């Protein structure tokens, strides 16, 4: 249950962040807004780590190097979201984002990118759910 609560909070904050980023981007530019967001996010995360006195940094060398690019992906995520908010509005952007995340996640699980134990067979209900989400997007755009 705790994971669901964090997911709901994450979704709510993602929407708030996207709206704020779009407003900032209108005034100072999209890449500038992405830079500001990344910078303030870094500072906030660093302060939390320091306040919690978390010493997990010592395990950084155990992380696969390819995963260290996750932060760099965030710059493109922010740019894409800000641009989409300007062109599509919040509801269509968030709905499209969710579908893209679902498709990418299902493909990654099907291919087994997270190891053989994580391979999940795709059932008809999963495809039906994804189809319903796409229909929802179409309803938002019509």
CA nearest 19: which of 93, 107, 100?
Answer: 93
Q: What is the pLDDT of residue 119?
A: 64
Q: Cα 67 vs. chain centroid, distance in angstroms? A: 15
Q: Write down the pTM of the prediction.
A: 0.72
Co-location of 3 and 70 in the same domain:
yes
Domain stops at, among 55, 73, 88: 88
Co-location of 12 and 82 in the same domain:
yes
55 lies in which domain range?
1-88
Co-location of 4 and 64 in the same domain:
yes
Q: Which residue's entry shows tokens 């740019």?
A: 79
Q: Which residues of the chain have pLDDT under 50?
A: none
Q: What is the pLDDT of residue 35?
A: 92
**Separation of alpha carbons 40 and 34, rounded Å:** 10
Domains held by the chain: number: 2
Tokens of 43: 């500072």
Co-location of 78 and 115 in the same domain:
no
Q: Is 122 helix (H, G, I), strand (E, B) or coil?
A: coil
């Amino acid at each position: 249950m705790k994971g669901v609560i964090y997911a709901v909070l994450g979704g709510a904050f993602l929407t708030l962040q996207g709206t704020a980023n779009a407003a900032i981007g209108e005034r100072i530019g999209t890449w500038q807004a992405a830079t500001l967001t990344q910078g303030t996010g870094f500072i906030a995360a660093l302060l939390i780590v320091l306040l919690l006195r978390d010493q997990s940094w010592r395990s950084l060398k155990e992380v696969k190097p390819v995963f260290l690019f996750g932060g760099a992906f965030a710059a493109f995520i922010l740019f894409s979201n800000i641009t989409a908010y300007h062109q599509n509005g919040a509801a269509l952007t968030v709905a499209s984002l969710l579908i893209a995340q679902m498709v990418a996640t299902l493909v990654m699980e099907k291919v087994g990118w997270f190891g053989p134990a994580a391979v999940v067979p795709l059932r008809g209900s999963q495809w039906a759910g994804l189809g319903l989400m796409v229909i929802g997007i179409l309803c938002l755009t019509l």
